[in-house]
């Protein structure tokens, strides 16, 4: 075991990256997924064709397709961390807790990094959102779960560094004078902010003026298309009447809401829920109601949840470049075509946008600074490129102070810098 070595892990909702501070040297993003278009970035995916086999990243997708989409594909599982009602899942006869799912993924990242570095490493700096949840109890619960997952992966010592603070350390290396900087880091699951005093020569914990955020970002914007339009194709509004009953009922809210998120939809296949939906299908009022639920069964049974949500994400990206776009899904039995406009997207996203910028306002208030006192605004992550998000930042701070990073390595680079601080005996949190 290398006692002077540390892994840096950006464990993301959608993608994960690994770097290291090893034997006194920085190792930037390691090539942890050679099958990926960008080998430094591994999709945060787990595929279990059976309880004894597991595939990761791009390999998970290809094996999933090869196996005719049998077995279980898990994505966005990080988003369950603050949910105290979500304990895990059952795979064949094996109970998999969420901590174990995440631990299995972190262990694979660890093993691949150790192979590249030819060293056994038991200390890690792992990124975490500014907030897993707006509820303090759920926040603590999520962090406890991550500690258990890291221990499962074999890490003896771990520092969890807020991702926007890590991004700030990356920007610090570009400065030649002291500045007050706002960092906005937008991932798949969270929007995170740090207000920090940055200078090129040193760092003190007192330089961190505020950290805040909210558990809404790219995945939440994807879910908008389901909740406002697409979920009705899968029975969200289907009506039914139970035998011997007189009341006309609609699909329960809990089930309809699961349709909106890929991380939740996969659990519709669990026995009790699945059987309930079967009973609803038998009692539907109209042919259209029945067909909608049949589409849901096809979506789940034929394992089309993942490609369907990939199509939704493409639609979201297309609306960043055009005023209108067409959503088309042509899998047999699931043929769906819907038009979407950027105006609709902006309207539907209003609540999400308000919560994201409420977190920004809270961060600024905690830092006791006003927008005119901020020298530089640095935005990173795919959601920062959504036009109405960027436009709001321009409105608050002005376009001249705005930087949008095209790459996805800012957080990882800052985590590696945090590992360097740790090696010198300084903890950043």
pLDDT of 258 reads 87
pLDDT of 349 reads 94
Q: What percent of the chain has pLDDT over 90?
A: 58
Mean pLDDT of the chain, nearest integer: 89
Q: Are 241 and 247 in contact, with CB atoms under 8 Å apart?
A: yes
Tokens of residue 269, six digits: 């296949």
Torsions phi, psi for 30 (to 5 deg): -80, 155
- Identify the band that residue 1 occupies on the pLDDT scale cut at 50, 70 and 90: very low
pLDDT of 223 reads 92
Q: What percent of the chain has pLDDT over 70?
A: 98
pLDDT of 130 reads 86
10-60: per-residue pLDDT in tens?
A: 999 889 999 999 989 999 899 999 999 999 999 999 999 988 899 999 999
Whether 307 shows a pLDDT value over 60: the answer reads yes
200-251: per-residue pLDDT in tens?
A: 777 778 889 999 999 888 888 989 999 999 999 999 999 999 888 789 999 9
Q: Are 304 and 292 in contact, with CB atoms under 8 Å apart?
A: no
pLDDT of 305 reads 83
**Burial (CB count <10 Å: 0-12, 13-18, 19+), residue 423:** middle
pLDDT of 2 reads 46
Rounded mean pLDDT, 128-135: 87
pLDDT of 3 reads 57
Rounded mean pLDDT, 136-162: 95
319-368: per-residue pLDDT in tens?
A: 988 999 999 999 999 999 999 999 999 999 999 999 999 999 999 999 99
Whether 111 shows a pLDDT value over 80: the answer reads yes
pLDDT of 408 reads 67
Q: Which domains can be identified in the chain, with CATH numbers?
A: 5-169+407-423 (3.30.420.40), 219-330 (no CATH)
Whether 405 shows a pLDDT value over 70: the answer reads no
Tokens of residue 43, six digits: 């999709």
User: How far apart, in whole angstroms, are the C-alpha atoms of residue 236 and residue 295?
Assistant: 11
β-bridge partners, 297: none
User: How far apart, in whole angstroms, are the C-alpha atoms of residue 395 and residue 385?
Assistant: 15
**Burial (CB count <10 Å: 0-12, 13-18, 19+), residue 226:** buried
Rounded mean pLDDT, 73-96: 84
**Burial (CB count <10 Å: 0-12, 13-18, 19+), residue 404:** middle
Largest CA distance in the chain: 76
């Amino acid at each position: 075991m290398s006692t002077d070595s540390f892994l840096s892990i950006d464990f993301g909702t959608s993608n994960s990256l690994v770097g290291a501070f090893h034997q006194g040297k920085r190792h930037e993003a390691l090539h942890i997924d050679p099958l990926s278009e960008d080998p430094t970035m591994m999709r945060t995916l787990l595929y279990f064709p059976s309880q004894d086999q597991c595939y990761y990243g791009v390999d998970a997708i290809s094996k999933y397709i090869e196996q005719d989409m049998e077995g279980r594909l898990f994505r966005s599982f990080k988003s369950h961390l603050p949910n105290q009602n979500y304990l895990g899942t059952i795979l064949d006869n094996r109970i998999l807790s969420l901590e174990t799912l995440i631990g299995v993924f972190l262990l694979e990242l660890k093993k691949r990094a150790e192979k590249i570095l030819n060293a056994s490493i038991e200390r890690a700096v792992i990124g975490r959102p500014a907030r897993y949840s707006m509820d303090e109890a759920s926040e603590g619960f999520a962090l406890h779960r991550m500690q258990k997952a890291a221990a499962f992966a074999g890490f003896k010592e771990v520092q969890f560094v807020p991702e926007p603070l890590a991004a700030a350390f990356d920007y610090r290396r570009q400065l030649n004078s002291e500045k007050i900087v706002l960092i906005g880091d937008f991932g798949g699951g969270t929007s995170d902010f740090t207000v920090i005093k940055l200078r090129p020569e040193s760092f003190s914990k007192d330089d961190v003026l505020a950290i805040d955020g909210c558990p809404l970002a790219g995945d939440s914007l994807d879910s908008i298309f389901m909740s406002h339009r697409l979920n009705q194709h899968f029975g969200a509004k289907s009506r039914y009447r139970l035998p011997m009953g007189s009341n006309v009922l609609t699909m329960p809210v809990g089930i309809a809401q699961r349709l909106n998120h890929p991380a939740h939809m996969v659990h519709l296949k669990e026995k009790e829920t699945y059987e309930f939906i079967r009973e609803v299908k038998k009692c539907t009022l109209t042919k259209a109601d029945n067909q909608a639920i049949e589409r849901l069964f096809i979506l789940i049974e034929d394992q089309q949840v993942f490609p369907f949500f990939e199509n939704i994400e493409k639609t979201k990206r297309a609306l960043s470049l055009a005023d209108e776009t067409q959503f088309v899904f042509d899998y047999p039995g699931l043929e769906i075509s819907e038009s979407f406009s950027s105006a609709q997207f902006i309207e539907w996203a209003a609540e999400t946008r308000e919560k994201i910028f409420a977190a920004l306002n809270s961060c600024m208030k905690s830092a006791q600074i006003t927008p005119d006192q901020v020298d530089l605004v640095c935005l990173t992550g795919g959601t920062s490129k959504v036009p109405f998000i960027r436009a709001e930042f321009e409105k608050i701070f002005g376009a001249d102070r705005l930087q949008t990073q095209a790459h996805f390595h800012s957080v990882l680079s800052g985590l590696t810098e945090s590992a360097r601080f740790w090696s010198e005996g300084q903890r950043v949190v």
